[in-house]
């Protein structure tokens, strides 16, 4: 803070701090507190609010456990989000290693630009592009038929396959950059020393690169899991009737059923799930908030 005050002065620093506090309180903390309060109250008519029926209750939370369909969708969302996280990690680790340790410094900016440019397009448009690619009569099926790999078109969007693939692509950068930032700081001499001592490639990564990149792996997994679990557009566009996401149920409670109290309870459960995942990842990779902040 002293360095910020020295650089920008007391007035500008105070303005930035107040702006951050106003943003955090007004757009994050207070809405979340209102959502929590709504979740413990029944859905009442306007004239009944503040009356004898307006009491705090756990009925909205009990609804999820009584509704087997919603409960199965909730657990499927957890499983699907974890699967997308693993798929994204497997896809991005080699790319991040290539960018951080292999590519020459004079070409790095070009590769990063090539990686980022496609994501200048809106997420909705990119998702619709995948909708066209994965369509029953789309170019992917046409290619598979032309190569003779399939006898008939595949319905990629009849299940969860299209959703997993679309989300893995949509949130790829949120895994690549934390991994790259962690791997890029590794002294390449450690890799060369391990190679000179006869360590195979897999052991070099397992014993040298991965331990050093643990904070980046933790951050990437947290970001991708939270974005995937809270995504609405991708499963709504690429998913079929049998591949609904928990966020779609929350949307239906808020805007189709006009039951904000029940929707708030479901949203708060999803929030607790994300917080629990953060704690699990920090424990699993043995990193703290200071390590993640790097």
- Reported as a single tens digit per residue, the pLDDT across 139-150 is 988 998 988 888
- For residue 269, give the H/E element and its range: helix 260-284
Residue 265 corresponds to which tokens in the numbers above? 């309870």
State pTM to two decimals: 0.87
Does domain 59-293 fall under CATH 1.10.3720.10? My reply is: yes
d(Cα 152, Cα 158) in Å, to the nearest integer? 15
Across 84-91, average pLDDT: 94
Sign for the CA dihedral angle at 165, 80, 116, 180 comes to negative
* CA quadruple 271, 275, 276, 280: dihedral, nearest 10: 150
**pLDDT tens-digit readout, 47-86:** 787 788 888 889 999 999 999 999 999 999 999 999 999 9
Query: Which among 279, 277, 280, 282 has a CA at the least distance from the CA of 292?
Result: 282
**pLDDT tens-digit readout, 241-255:** 778 899 999 999 998
């Amino acid at each position: 803070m002293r360095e910020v005050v020295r650089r920008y002065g007391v007035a500008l620093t105070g303005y930035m701090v107040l702006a951050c506090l106003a943003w955090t309180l007004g757009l994050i903390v207070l809405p979340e507190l209102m959502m929590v309060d709504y979740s413990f109250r029944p859905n009442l008519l306007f004239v009944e609010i503040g009356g004898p029926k307006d009491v705090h209750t756990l009925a909205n939370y009990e609804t999820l456990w009584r509704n087997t369909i919603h409960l199965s969708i909730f657990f499927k969302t957890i499983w699907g989000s974890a699967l997308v996280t693993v798929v994204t990690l497997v896809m991005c680790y080699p790319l991040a290693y290539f960018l951080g340790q292999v590519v020459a410094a004079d070409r790095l900016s070009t590769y990063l630009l090539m990686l980022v440019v496609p994501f200048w397009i809106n997420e909705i448009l990119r998702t619709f592009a995948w909708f066209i690619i994965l369509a029953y009569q789309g170019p992917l099926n046409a290619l598979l038929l032309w190569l003779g790999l399939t006898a008939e078109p595949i319905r990629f969007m009849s299940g969860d396959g299209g959703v997993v693939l679309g989300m893995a692509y949509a949130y790829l950068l949120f895994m690549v950059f934390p991994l790259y930032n962690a791997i890029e700081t590794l002294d390449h001499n450690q890799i060369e020393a391990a190679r000179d001592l006869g360590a195979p490639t897999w052991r070099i990564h397992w014993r040298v690169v991965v331990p050093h990149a643990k904070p980046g792996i933790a951050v990437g997994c947290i970001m991708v899991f939270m974005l995937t679990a809270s995504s609405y557009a991708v499963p709504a566009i690429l998913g079929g009737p049998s591949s609904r996401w928990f966020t779609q149920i929350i949307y239906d409670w808020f805007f189709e059923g006009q039951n904000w109290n029940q929707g708030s309870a479901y949203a708060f459960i999803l929030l607790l799930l994300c917080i629990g995942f953060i704690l699990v990842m920090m424990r699993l990779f043995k990193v703290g908030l200071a390590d993640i902040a790097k």
